[in-house]
Amino acid sequence: MSKASAEELARTLRVAHLLGLVSLYGHSSVRVGPETILVTPGRALGSPPPNRLRADDVLSVSLDGSVLEGRYPPPRDIAVHLAIYRARREVEAVLHTHQPEMLALGLVERELLPLAHQGADLIQSPLPRFGSGELVTTQAQADALVQTMGAAAACNLPGHGVLVVGTGLAHVLCRAQQLEEQARMTRLAISMGELKTVSRDQAERIAGQRAGMEDFRNYYAAIDPGPGPAPPPNPDPDTVIGVKELVARSCHILRRFGVVRHLEHVSHRLPEPGRFVISPRGDLGQLRAEQVASVDMAGNWVDGPLEPPPFRFLHRDIFLARADVRAIVHTHETYGRLYPAAGLAVLPVHRTGALVVRRRLPVYDIPDLIFDEEPRRAVLALLGDGPIVHERAHGTDYVAATIEKATAAAVHREWIAELYHRAAQLGTPRPLSDAALEQVSREEPAASEWWDYWLGL
Ligand SMILES: [Zn+2]
Ligand SMILES: [Zn+2]
């Protein structure tokens, strides 16, 4: 395996992560011989996410799909990479992203406006689109995608991501970044009336004057943060301090995504029956396990230095009513509060978060703190045997059998609501196809993978 190419490939995905173009998912490949490519690994047990990739994680794959070298499986949609390299001799590198501005644009009937000089040449014709959120895993689907793409530099995969091709790794990264900037400017310009754009002639002239890719390659090497650290080992869930540590980590993740600050809370059953733990008030971004309080099923404060919040009674009610629930996450989010207030549903417009927003959201329609018995009973009734209940103008409760699931649902619901909102500013967002939703619901929920990825950030 070419060491230099493997290094540059791993770096490409790390930098794409740094630039917000990929998160847990996303992959890239580069041609290294007439019949051979290097590709970053797919999601599998132990495979590193983009921010933690190293050269020796990369796979060497023959264009017929057989893995020549590599310790992890290839991406599930590797058929796309292979079909592109087979059909387009000029393509030397491929990058698959889940970049948010392009995702929003892909969901509506609207073309990118060439508003920035760099990358204006990429969007002089409408970008091709393929699918409605399905993962392209078969050769027939991949060939159809290549056909749709023609000679274009990129293809939007609505409800999923973006594919960018180019003459090298710096080239695809730079193209993905330029598309994201054009998409962002297009969205920001939406209420500004007529704008002057870069014409085809101007775009071609600028592209011709452009320096080679060496500048970009040097720049990407300079900003490469290197492989990120592995997440901390899991605490022992059979001990009180281990469970408190899980609650503290959930709070850190939720704080990172802005859905908690200091008045929200996370709770978790203890191994000992009749007890649970709950986060106290305070900066949840810095909560330490020792600060988490234990409570009994009467709501009494059992241990911990800080008084548990009065909302513990709602959590207690949920734990008593739902033997299947081991963790509860309560958030105060932004986009996720706007939509119920408007009486609107967030549609499942992306694979990530689709299952969280797919079912109708039960809403307790009185802006209130849920202290007293009457609102508690009403909220509990609305929750029923479901995973989520929303309190209008207040927040949302997510319940699950694992804290990873409850935390991922909270982060993903806000993420998909923000994506939906971006797209709704641009037009009428199209949800995933039934086939894509079916595919997503059949997949193993990856909550623990997201959890590990977030903790490693
Ligand atoms: Zn993807
Ligand atoms: Zn609250």
Supply 166's token pair. 């180019």
- Rounded (5°) CA angle 78-79-82: 90
From the CA of 440, which ligand is nearest?
A: 1
**pLDDT for res 179:** 98
Q: What's the CA-to-centroid distance between 158 and ligand 1, angstroms?
A: 11
Parallel, antiparallel or unpaired: strands 363-364 and 388-391: parallel
Task: Record the pTM.
Answer: 0.97
> Which residues share a beta bridge with 396?
331, 390
Distance CA 174, CA 154 (A): 12
**pLDDT for res 446:** 86
From the CA of 264, which ligand is nearest?
A: 2
From the CA of 260, which ligand is nearest?
A: 2
Listed in order, strand segments (DSSP E) in 279-391 are: 293-296, 301-303, 327-331, 363-364, 388-391
- 3 state DSSP class of 389: strand
From the CA of 98, which ligand is nearest?
A: 1
**pLDDT for res 208:** 83
Q: Which residues surround ligand 2, an ion (CB under 5 A)?
A: 395
In terms of CATH architecture, what is 3-223? 3-Layer(aba) Sandwich (3.40)
**pLDDT for res 100:** 97
**pLDDT for res 154:** 98
Instruction: For domain 240-455, give the CATH number.
Output: 3.40.225.10
Range(s) of the chain covered by CATH 3.40.225.10: 3-223, 240-455
Residue that is written with structure tokens 């709602």 in the block? 314
**pLDDT for res 304:** 97
Q: What's the CA-to-centroid distance between 255 and ligand 1, angstroms?
A: 25
CB 72 within 8 A of CB 47: yes
**pLDDT for res 445:** 61
The kind and range of the H/E element at 453 are helix 447-455
Q: What's the CA-to-centroid distance between 240 and ligand 2, angstroms?
A: 25
**pLDDT for res 238:** 95
Q: What's the CA-to-centroid distance between 332 and ligand 2, angstroms?
A: 6
Q: What's the CA-to-centroid distance between 366 and ligand 2, angstroms?
A: 13
Q: What's the CA-to-centroid distance between 408 and ligand 2, angstroms?
A: 18
From the CA of 263, which ligand is nearest?
A: 2
Residue that is written with structure tokens 């990369």 in the block? 58
**pLDDT for res 444:** 62
Residue 271: which of 310, 238, 313, 234 has the closest Cα? 238
From the CA of 351, which ligand is nearest?
A: 1
**pLDDT for res 449:** 92
Residue 389: which of 373, 408, 371, 370 has the closest Cα? 370
pLDDT in tens, the chain (457 residues): 789 999 999 999 999 999 999 999 999 999 999 999 999 999 888 899 999 999 999 999 999 999 999 999 999 999 999 999 999 999 999 999 999 999 999 999 999 999 999 999 999 999 999 999 999 999 999 999 999 999 999 999 999 999 999 999 999 999 999 999 999 999 999 999 999 999 999 999 988 887 678 999 999 999 999 999 999 999 999 999 999 999 999 999 999 999 999 999 999 999 999 999 999 999 999 999 999 999 999 999 999 999 999 999 999 999 999 999 999 999 999 999 999 999 999 999 999 999 999 999 999 999 989 999 999 999 999 999 999 999 999 999 999 999 999 999 999 999 999 999 999 999 999 999 999 999 999 886 689 999 999 999 9
- Rounded (5°) CA angle 141-29-224: 140
Q: Which residues surround ligand 1, an ion (CB under 5 A)?
A: 25, 161
Q: What's the CA-to-centroid distance between 42 and ligand 1, angstroms?
A: 10
CB 331 within 8 A of CB 304: no
Supply 132's token pair. 């409605």
From the CA of 40, which ligand is nearest?
A: 1
Residue 341: which of 273, 396, 411, 380 has the closest Cα? 396
Q: What's the CA-to-centroid distance between 97 and ligand 1, angstroms?
A: 6
From the CA of 78, which ligand is nearest?
A: 1
From the CA of 43, which ligand is nearest?
A: 1
Report the amino acid identity of residue 39. Answer: V
Q: What's the CA-to-centroid distance between 77 and ligand 1, angstroms?
A: 8
